[in-house]
């Protein structure tokens, strides 16, 4: 190879290499922001047609210099049809569309450096969307009871309902939980819910058991009467509104009044067992009694929840929030009794609560009866 040809060949190779480098696609390097979780904050509730715009100020506390960001749907749950979109995202604005639960995230995108573009994932939050026009309207006691025939649908209460003539059968149970949404935006009441036996189910309340991400909002229960003292055993769970609520489910803006005579392990004026759900903005007024012999260290009575399980996250530091109780709670000589919660695994799970009334039990506190952690101080009273 002569010298001139050799130089021409080398310059050609160099030129083609530069063209290749200039035209190649960048490597997108994605990582989640440390500590970011879809359950970081209490879910946001929006009605169909409402909008929420996210701008750069939302990410002000995050130490990551970025040029732009994109919003995207991380997950959708409870949608009424598989192909429906619960929200629409356009130009960083979220528009509520269909009833359901959606988690939204953002990708923060840096400027290109060499052949790499660093991207950081951040959860914006968890959203419940309410579209009244596509929900099933409940106007009679019979329609309310028939929710048991379609536990995955979404319902809206559209009339006052009197359950005097009904021996109530709880909506959903441990084998077939309620998996939808039930809302009462117009303030209608459900009166005289009555249950007189604990022999035919494990969980009792207006709802027996609600599944993950189920949503109940605005329910007003007046003059409930639940007597399941004929139950023999240790596993019964009773709540005025919900027996058992599972992880990430939510009860919002509620009012419950009446009497509960229980016979099981966990009894609450609102929820018997809160298994990592959120209870926010509501009250219980009445009385609860359980003198049965229950062989469990977590035998519990609480004005809001009998047993409350919770794990705090970066921003979500409580799961029973803004609640009041005016009640007499009597657990005899064996139960752990708390004005707000009978037993919990995390002492700070309650935020902005108050109690008026009396508490009687093996361990009894105006706030919490027993904290199920080694070395914890209990019972806990309001200062």
Which of 2-11, 59-68, 215-224, 253-262 shows the lowest mean pLDDT across its residues? 2-11
Would you say 154 and 181 are in contact if contact means Cβ atoms under 8 Å apart? yes
Predicted pLDDT at 232: 79
**Whether the domain at 27-130 and the domain at 136-371 fall into the same CATH topology:** no
Q: Please determine, for residue 38, whether its predicted confidence score (pLDDT) is greater than 80.
A: no
Closest CA to 285 of 327, 341, 254: 327
Would you say 135 and 170 are in contact if contact means Cβ atoms under 8 Å apart? no
In tens, the pLDDT along 200-244 reads: 677 899 999 999 999 999 999 999 999 999 887 778 999 999 999
Q: Please determine, for residue 341, whether its predicted confidence score (pLDDT) is greater than 90.
A: yes
> C-alpha distances in angstroms, 28 versus 31, 68, 91, 120, 124?
10, 14, 22, 10, 21
Q: Please determine, for residue 287, whether its predicted confidence score (pLDDT) is greater than 70.
A: yes
Q: Which CATH number fits domain 136-371: 1.10.10, 2.160.20, 1.20.1530, 1.10.3300?
A: 2.160.20
Span 26-41, average pLDDT = 77
Span 142-171, average pLDDT = 96
What would you report as the CA-atom Rg of the chain, rounded to the nearest whole angstrom?
Answer: 27
CA 99 – CA 88 distance, rounded (Å): 13
Would you say 245 and 212 are in contact if contact means Cβ atoms under 8 Å apart? no
Predicted pLDDT at 194: 96
List the beta bridge partners of residue 182: 155, 216
Residue 103 banded pLDDT, cuts 50, 70, 90: very high
Q: Please determine, for residue 22, whether its predicted confidence score (pLDDT) is greater than 50.
A: no
Residue 21 banded pLDDT, cuts 50, 70, 90: very low
Span 157-175, average pLDDT = 95
In tens, the pLDDT along 297-317 reads: 899 999 999 999 998 776 678
Predicted pLDDT at 40: 65
Q: Please determine, for residue 80, whether its predicted confidence score (pLDDT) is greater than 80.
A: no
For residues 20 and 189, which has the higher predicted lDDT (pLDDT)?
A: 189
Q: Please determine, for residue 36, whether its predicted confidence score (pLDDT) is greater than 90.
A: no
Pairing state between β 220-227 and 190-191: parallel
Which backbone phi and psi does 324 adopt, to 5 degrees? -130, 145
Predicted pLDDT at 164: 95
Looking at the domain 27-130, which fold is it? Immunoglobulin-like (2.60.40)
> C-alpha distances in angstroms, 106 versus 47, 58, 72, 121, 158?
22, 11, 6, 6, 37
CA 175 – CA 253 distance, rounded (Å): 27
> Which stretch of DSSP H or E encloses residue 142?
helix 141-145
Predicted pLDDT at 293: 80
* Interacting residues of 225 by C-beta distance below 8 A, sequence separation 6+: 192, 193, 194, 195, 258, 259
Residue 28 banded pLDDT, cuts 50, 70, 90: confident
Span 67-88, average pLDDT = 85
- Domains of the chain: which residue ranges? 27-130, 136-371
CA 80 – CA 263 distance, rounded (Å): 37
């Amino acid at each position: 190879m002569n010298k001139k040809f050799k130089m021409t060949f080398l310059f050609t190779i160099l030129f083609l290499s530069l063209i290749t480098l200039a035209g190649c696609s960048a490597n997108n390097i994605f990582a989640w922001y440390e500590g970011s979780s879809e359950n970081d904050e209490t879910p946001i509730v929006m009605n169909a047609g409402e909008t929420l715009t996210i701008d750069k100020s939302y990410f002000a506390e995050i130490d990551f210099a970025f040029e732009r960001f994109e919003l995207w749907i991380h997950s959708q749950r409870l949608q009424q049809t598989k192909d429906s979109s619960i929200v629409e995202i356009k130009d960083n604005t979220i528009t509520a569309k269909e009833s359901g639960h959606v988690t939204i995230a953002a990708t923060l995108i840096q400027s290109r450096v060499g052949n790499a573009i660093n991207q950081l994932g951040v959860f914006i939050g968890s959203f419940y969307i309410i579209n009244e026009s596509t929900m099933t309207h409940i106007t009679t006691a019979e329609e309310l009871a028939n929710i048991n025939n379609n536990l995955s649908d979404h319902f809206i209460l559209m009339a006052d309902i009197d359950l005097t003539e009904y021996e109530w059968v709880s909506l959903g149970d441990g084998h077939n939980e309620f998996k939808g949404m039930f809302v009462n935006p117009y303030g209608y009441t459900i009166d005289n819910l009555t249950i007189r036996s604990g022999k035919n189910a494990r969980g009792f309340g207006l709802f027996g058991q609600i599944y993950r991400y189920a949503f109940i909002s605005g329910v007003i229960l007046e003059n409930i009467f639940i007597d399941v003292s004929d139950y023999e055993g240790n596993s019964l769970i009773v709540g005025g509104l919900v027996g058992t609520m599972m992880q990430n489910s939510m009860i919002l803006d509620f009012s419950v009044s009446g009497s509960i005579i229980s016979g099981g392990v966990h009894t609450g004026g609102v929820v018997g067992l809160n298994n990592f759900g959120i209870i926010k903005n509501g009250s219980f007024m009445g009385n609860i009694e359980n003198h049965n012999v229950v062989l469990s260290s977590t035998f519990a009575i609480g004005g809001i929840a009998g047993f409350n399980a919770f794990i705090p996250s970066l921003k979500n530091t409580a799961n029973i929030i803004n609640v009041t109780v005016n009640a007499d709670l009597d657990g005899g000589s064996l139960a752990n009794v708390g004005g707000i919660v009978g037993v919990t695994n995390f002492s700070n799970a309650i935020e902005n609560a108050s109690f008026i009334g009396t508490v009687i039990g093996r361990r009894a506190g105006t706030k919490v009866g027993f904290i199920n952690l080694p070395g914890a101080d209990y019972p806990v009273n309001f200062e």
